[in-house]
Amino acid sequence: MHPYQDSSQPLEARIDDLISRMTPLEKMKQLHYQAPAIEHLGVPAYNWWNECLHGVARNGKATVFPQAINLAASFDPDLVRDTFRAIAFEARAKYAQSVLAGQRGQYRGLTFWTPNINIFRDPRWGRGQETYGECPMLMSRMGMAVVTGLQGEDPEKLLTAACAKHFAVHSGPEEKRHVFDARPTEQDFRETYLPAFQALVEGGVETVMGAYNRVYGEPACGSELLLKTLLREEWNFEGHVVSDCWAIRDFHEHHKVTPNTAESAAMALKNGCDLNCGCVYEELPVALEEGLIEEADLDRSLRRLLRTRFRLGMFDESEEDLKSMAECCEVAGPENAEQALEAARSSVVLLKNENKLLPLPANGSNYYVCGPFASSLEVLLGNYFGMNGHLTTVLEGVSGLVGADTNIEYHPAFLADREKPNKIDWGLGPANGRNAVIAVCGIDPLMEGEEGDALLSDYAGDRRSVELPAAQKEYLLRVAEHSDSPLVLVVCGGAAVSLGELADKAAAIVWIGYPGQAGGQAVAEVLFGEVNPAGRLPFTVPAGDAQLPDYEDYSMTGRTYRFLEEEPEFPFGFGLSYSGFRYEALQLNKAELPAGEDLEVEVTVVNDSEIDGDEVVQLYIRDEDSSVRTPVCQLVDFARISVPAGTRASITLNVPAQWMQVTHEDGSRHFEAGSFKVFAGGSSPGSRSQALGASDMLDAHFELTLS
């Protein structure tokens, strides 16, 4: 037995021993995402490319949990952690089953390229659905919950390996991602685009993936600033870096920063990209021969990659261990199905409920269900999904929940994004004389997604407009204006959909995103009152396209709740409940706070209704005296709490010191003395939140002092 095969030896000693036994060519091949076996050393083949955005993806049977943006809407990090712990065990079971069957190909491993923590800066970006919203603080909290769920709490061993992507300034446009040079201000770079990455790195994420585009002129997957200065020197990252797929090829083919493949490979490797998803590292032998790299560069990256594989236990797997692992959970079984249902319930956002139309009666009623997505499986799945035999559409959920004495009529009635070729129009007939018209509208993954993935997008996966497609809007306005039945909009999509005048004319509106395999059941339970909604918007819904800045401008001016000066259609953090909540008290532990200390804030919430409910208590601050531009407000803490009917609950939240720092135009961050305002409530502060019926917003001041 060699030292690297002895599990009692220290980890670094095992890694050093194994590297010492490899030839330079063997080392180079291990830096490819399809790492081949090294038979004489007993090193098995391994494919590093695996996906689990919201469930083990692209590998057959698995539980399909709600899309990432839905999980963000839960405002419940514990739920997110538990969801990804379930995903990790399914991954472990599927991995072991594959190894026992001699299958070691793509999507069958334990290194997962999730979470996507790019700031959802613009709702037109097709991949925003993969993220946890537009707020650096929410992204940090939810992203860390994903990492903890996937990797486990053991500092020595990994359950699976998570990956923070795409480092660092990357959120569209998709059609230009291979050529784009993102140049945010230094202030926005440090204040908006980096915090979530720094939080996950400092929290122990095992992998960081680079982006396709350039950042300040350097290709992200070969950037000295990103991969050396920030990751290794400032943040002390100890894991490995992987390129986005075929991103290194862009160095010479699109970015034109290198003349050929060998120099692209050398640039990426020397600056700290350890693993190539693509084929450029096939030219590493040429780079070594030409003196562009040294064997020490190979050893450095290989050491990082082997550390991950050792921590995953891949060199210590006996057949008995694998058989046990294969049975560690029931893949796509009832326990995880219940977790998927609970996650879907928690992510539904009630945006409007005029005259308390919802919840609807399930018995003795008469409903018209319409819309292109009422019977759609696509809107359950989002992108990067697994396969499951228990997908429940909204139509199935509604039909399965109502009583036998309730009538339901269903017609698609209108198309998702274009005029009907068939000019015969049933018109408003089915929409009259009903307790409600339930219209399932919005967008689906065929209309937004990754480059080349959204088949109905004419903008490489992005949307040109955030407004509800005209074909949908035309029909629904007719229903709202001329039908005698109240209109309930069930809005699908992984991004903001501006409803315009429909937002005023509809009687009730719920946002359901892409809610996963149990989405239809969860939505029906909310509509008919078996579940009291408590989701909150993880993004701002703008009041139409005119409210959006230039898509290609990476400045945060005018973007997201943090810098939008106008009133949106629906604000960040907003969501209603069937309960009635009131904020009774807001107490700060200090009126004057020395710089560098956290502030404690106690909030009391009262449920004045007769319905038990969850409230998402949100804490924001505003710097009133800063010498530079600061956010209109900044979420600094939140908690989802249960408040039984007729009771009150007190909770202590914190304003972490880091969010009191100001970021200057040169990117430096420090404290400034002055006055801060603290807001506590059930939404982001602003007159629009109150106009839409959000719970009370309390506020108080404190002074930050410099010692």
CA distance 474 to 463: 19
The first and second tokens of residue 104, run together, are 């070691």
- The two three-digit tokens of residue 163, written as one number: 């990956």
433 alpha carbon, distance to own chain's centre: 41
Distances 691 to 209, 505, 567 between C-alpha atoms, Å: 42, 15, 11
Tokens representing residue 658 in the block:
């880091």
C-alpha–C-alpha distance, residues 427 and 670, integer Å: 61
Query: Which residues are the active-site residues?
Result: 244
Phi–psi pair at 577, nearest 5 degrees: -140, 160
- Cβ partners under 8 Å of residue 432, min gap 6: 483, 484, 485
Q: Are 65 and 71 in contact (CB under 8 A)?
A: yes
- List the one residue out of 506, 513, 500, 528 whose CA is nearest residue 448: 513
How many Å apart are CA 497 and CA 511, to the nearest integer? 9
Kind and range of the H or E run holding 186: helix 186-188
The identity of residue 338, as a single letter, is E
Q: How are strands ordered across the β-sheet holding 207-210?
A: 163-167, 207-210, 240-242
User: Do 302 and 30 form a contact (C-beta atoms < 8 A)?
Assistant: yes
Distance CA 621, CA 629 (A): 14
Q: Which residue has the tokens 């997008």?
A: 457
- Distance between CA atoms of residues 704 and 403, nearest Å: 59
Distance, in Å, from the CA atom of 282 to the CA atom of 265, rounded to the nearest integer, reads: 8
**Residue 487 forms beta bridges with which residues?**
437
Number of other residues whose CB lies within 10 A of the CB of residue 101: 10
Q: Distances from the Cα of 465 to the Cαs of 53, 119, 249, 498, in angstroms?
A: 26, 19, 31, 9
Query: Is the distance from CB of 146 to CB of 203 less than 8 angstroms?
Result: no
Q: Which residues pair with 53 in a beta bridge?
A: 55
Cis peptide before 166 (omega within 30 of 0): yes
- 111: Cβ contacts below 8 Å, ≥ 6 apart: 48, 50, 160, 161, 163, 206, 207, 308, 312
d(CA 150, CA 131): 16
- Alpha-helical regions (H) of 279-392: 284-289, 295-311, 319-326, 334-347, 378-381
Rg (CA), the chain: 26
> 481 exposed, middle or buried (CB, 10 Å; 0-12, 13-18, 19+)?
exposed
Return d(Cα 605, Cα 653) in angstroms, integer. 13
677 token code pair: 């305002």
- Token readout for 140 is 């940090």
Amino acid in position 363: N
Could you report how far apart the first and last alpha carbons of the chain are, in Å?
60
